């Protein structure tokens, strides 16, 4: 039996927030050096899949960085602007995220294109930027 469960944050999909038909799954998380949760997974829209990265602060709000400056979500602001997709041709899926010694993030996953499957490896700084 689970006791004293507290929901920290939820992310919902609505027609206003995420493109119609989008499907988001989260496969892994890690705590960044700034105390944020880095969530990694997959966002699929119209049969196109990309690795996604979402950062959540200690208040349960999604955050993003613009040119190194922190931007916290506001009521009514769409959540899709907080999700960083990584991908190109093919179908990418994110499965794990770890912090690096210098405070960055390493995301692992897979990419399949034209019947071939390869390992996907993405390295970012602590803000989720290349």
Question: Is residue 72 assigned to a domain?
Answer: yes
124: left (phi over 0), alpha (psi -120 to 50) or beta: beta
More confident residue, 1 or 63: 63
17 located within any domain = no
- According to DSSP, the residues that pair with 97 across neighbouring strands are 107
Residue 43 is assigned to a structural domain of this protein: yes
82: which DSSP letter?
G
Which are the contacts of 17, defined by CB distance < 8 A and separation ≥ 6? 78, 79, 80
Lowest mean pLDDT among 6-10, 63-67, 109-113, 118-122: 6-10
pLDDT of residue 65: 76
pLDDT digits (tens, 9 = 90+) for 77-128: 555 556 777 777 778 999 999 999 999 999 999 988 888 888 989 999 888 8
pTM equals 0.75
**9 falls within a domain:** no
Into how many domains does the chain fold? 1
Instruction: Give the chain's largest Cα–Cα span.
Output: 48
pLDDT score recorded for residue 106:
94
Structural domain including 86 reads: 23-124
């Amino acid at each position: 039996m689970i006791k004293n469960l507290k929901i920290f944050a939820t992310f919902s999909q609505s027609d206003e927030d995420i493109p119609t038909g989008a499907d988001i799954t989260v496969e892994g998380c890690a705590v960044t050096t700034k105390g944020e949760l880095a969530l990694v997974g997959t966002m699929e829209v119209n049969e196109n899949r990309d690795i996604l990265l979402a950062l959540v602060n200690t208040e349960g709000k999604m955050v993003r960085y613009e040119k190194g400056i922190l931007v916290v979500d506001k009521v009514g602001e769409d959540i899709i602007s907080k999700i960083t997709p990584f991908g190109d041709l093919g179908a990418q899926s994110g499965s794990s995220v770890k912090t690096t010694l210098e405070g960055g993030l390493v995301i692992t996953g897979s990419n399949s294109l034209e019947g071939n499957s390869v390992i996907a490896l993405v390295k970012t700084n602590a803000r989720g930027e290349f």
